[in-house]
Amino acid sequence: MSSLLIIGAGGHGRCCLDIALSMNQFDKIAFLDDKETETINSIKVLGTAQELEKYYPVYDSIVVAIGNNKVRKQMMEKAKEIGYNLVNLKHPSAIISHFANIGYGNVIFPNAVIEANSYIGYGNVICANTVINHDATIKDYCLIYSNTTIRPESIVNSLTRIESNCCIGFGTILPEGSYIGEGSSVNKNV
């Protein structure tokens, strides 16, 4: 077992805590957050995100639980430079193909489905009930909200945010930094 530091104790951080606890792989878990709080959901907040170096190697693994894609990227890069192990948090109810290729620092929520030969890069957030179909690509530092489907052979480029209840059509390519609003269906390249 290892120890996990969660950067960010807001709503996303609390969800990450829930996933980490359900994985039963960490003997010690704590938060770093810029708001002055002592505990969140009975878990200690050790200090601020700026104190990241102070807690390595006492905590060897880290997940950045910040919804802003650019800030999440910056914090992950800083944590990697320090030497932290950027872990994937995968809820046990998520269905992930043996043939999917998944990088590090991702958070995969309950009931997400990641099909065969799909690629998930680094630092992504795949929310509940989202389906990444076969041969789809999610590059780095994307946030894909609940109940969204990414169809086969689609490419979601880095730093993209896709709101809930969206469908990205077969073979569609979203450029870097795209924002897809809630309930949208995108069937051709943006």
Q: Which of 182, 93, 170 is nearest to 133 (CA)?
A: 170
Q: Which of 55, 12, 11 is nearest to 32 (CA)?
A: 55
Cα(144)–Cα(131) distance, integer angstroms = 10
Decide: helix, strand or coil at residue 72: helix
CB 114 within 8 A of CB 99: no
Catalytic residue among 12, 91, 98, 134: 134
Annotated ligand binding at 181? The verdict is no
Cα(153)–Cα(110) distance, integer angstroms = 23
Please give the single-letter amino acid code of residue 6: I
Across the strands, what pairs with 26? 2
Active site residue 98: no
Binding residues: 67
Provide the annotated binding site for substrate: 67
- Residues recognised as catalytic: 134
